[in-house]
Amino acid sequence: MKIVVGTTALMMSMARAALDCHSLMQEDTCLAASCAWCKSAAVKSSCYDAAEAALLPPAIFQCATPPANHGCHFYNTKESCIASKEGDEPCYWCRSAAVKSTCYNETEAKRLPPAVFQCDKKSIVYAHGLTDLAAFIEPTPVVHAEAHSTSVADSPEPVQGDRPVDSLVQALASEPANHGCHFYNTEDACLKSKEGGAPCYWCKSAAVASTCYNETEAKQLPPAIFQCDKGPSLWQLTAVPATELGFRTLFQQWKVAFDVIYDSVATETTRFQAFVANAQLVAAHNRQVWRSYSLALNVFADTTWAEFQADYLGATPQNCSATHRSTVTAVGDVPDAIDWRRVDAVSPVKNQGKCGSCWTFSTTGCLESHNLLTHGKRVLLSEQNLVDCAQAFDNHGCNGGLPSHAFEYIKYNGGLDTGAAYPYHAKDETCKYDPANIGVTVVDVVNITSRDETQLRTAVGTVGPVSIAFQVSNDFRFYKDGVYDSTECKSGEADVNHAVLAVGYNTTVDGAKYWIVKNSWSDKWGIEGYFHIAQGKNMCGLADCASYPIV
């Protein structure tokens, strides 16, 4: 557990250090603080942490960095020390009860007796690809000037030979030409516009003012720093066709978009009926003025609710009682917002397919994060190992289970195989566990007190991602974006039917708090495989069965 505490505390410290760069508004003070000053035609020049600057696409940003290397002894704070290098080697911040904490170079740090000195360096966290700590905690936004756009206010005073300002305004109002995405300086105008037939994207960042980018630029921006949105898709219906022919046309478009082919006319007729009902459900919801989330037709659009429950949620009721209760102790201060994806500590979204094995994906996702945060090991783990082998711990393969029970199985089994050695087949098979292929072991399991979202927030905010279970209701399968806040789902240990992974939390611009949750229905579902769900009301029982492993 000491390793978890040390690593997480170091990451939090580095995050706050990086945020200091964002507060510097002048190039000279930015470079003097060993930060990078980055310029772009699209946004206001800003100060970035070096790790952020390395991620910015050079086609859009031009970054200057401080030329001088002062040497490790120059730095007198832990944050500046472990963010710096001497030559090509990292600096170490070394603490001792005997002398004042000091910044040393690598050669010096390795000579210090470990019984007397405890030394930290940046590469302890970053050696395995963890980057972008500046976006680790959502800061209070730094107020910048609006991004540059073509307007009267931005235009210089007319001089001899210039077009008069009023002529320029008239020309802009009358010209039918596409101004380009950079022209639009509000989210609404941006998302309604295109450049060369491609949609514009509204990209937000804690470091710079929100700006409108074209599609090429938006795809080049690092997702760890920028969150980019585009206008609603064709499948976020607000109305349905008035005729059967219109529905048939929409159905054909959906089949092409999602690559669906049926083996008979009878099957297609049945699927069409389900499609109509689901399209009506989606459109009716999206017409609600005060909705907090949107729905969209997706790969599940030709499936009835009963079929979906049987294929994806499992048929066996789960006993959500914890193996043992533990009080979660905060590892440092609990941040106002956190997203473990922004330090590359969350594995890719996977797809469980037609098997009620969500509990295995929640389990492996949680273990993959904690194995990385604790030991620096980036290993994808085997869901099929759990499907086939964990029945003795009250799990039921494709018919359901719970992450807390899966953690217990792994603890007593002595480990879990890697995904490469034991691949996923989305069906129940015989157990083929091989101790030679272990990818992780579990020392203990922490079960968070049922319905206690404060403990859950403490765990997610200071320890790492947490496995949770909740009740999926009919409309959730079509979730597209926004904060899911339902009156249809229930809370209670006996009602949970789906396990997922809480990887962070945040607050909307309107002040609504929400959890950031990783699902296992592919990255084509929801917000690239994730969803946001209301925090503070145990929505759908999400805090009823929360747990995480100690690895």
Position 549, amino acid: P
Query: In CATH, which of 3.30.470.10, 3.90.1310.10, 1.10.287.2250, 2.30.40.10 is domain 244-303?
Result: 1.10.287.2250
C-alpha 51/C-alpha 42 separation (Å) is 21
SS (H, E, C) 186-234: CHHHHHCCEECCEECEEEECCCCCCEEECHHHHHHCCCCCCEEECCCCC
As given in the structure block, the two tokens for residue 439 are 């990818």
C-alpha 167/C-alpha 150 separation (Å) is 14
How many other C-beta atoms can be found within 10 angstroms of the C-beta atom of residue 87?
Answer: 10
- Give me the catalytic one of 81, 91, 181, 358: 358
C-alpha 471/C-alpha 444 separation (Å) is 26
**498 is annotated as an active-site residue:** yes
**431 is annotated as an active-site residue:** no
**358 is annotated as an active-site residue:** yes
- The residues spanned by each domain of the chain are 21-64, 72-110, 181-230, 244-303, 338-550
CATH class of 338-550: alpha beta
- Give me the catalytic one of 396, 405, 498, 532: 498
SS3 324: coil
- Give me the catalytic one of 385, 519, 532, 545: 519
C-alpha 405/C-alpha 321 separation (Å) is 10
C-alpha 515/C-alpha 117 separation (Å) is 39
Angle at 358 between CA 300 and CA 548, to 5 degrees: 145
Q: Looking at residue 272, what is its pLDDT? A: 98
CA distances from 255 to 189, 267, 304, 310, 389 (A): 31, 13, 16, 23, 37
C-alpha 95/C-alpha 103 separation (Å) is 9
As given in the structure block, the two tokens for residue 7 are 């690593």
Q: Which residues of the chain have pLDDT under 70?
A: 1-20, 28-29, 32, 66-70, 96-99, 112-117, 122-179, 196-197, 207, 314-327, 329-331
Residue in the block written with tokens 């949970």:
496
CA distances from 276 to 56, 221, 308 (A): 44, 38, 16
As given in the structure block, the two tokens for residue 41 are 């035609």
As given in the structure block, the two tokens for residue 374 are 């604790």
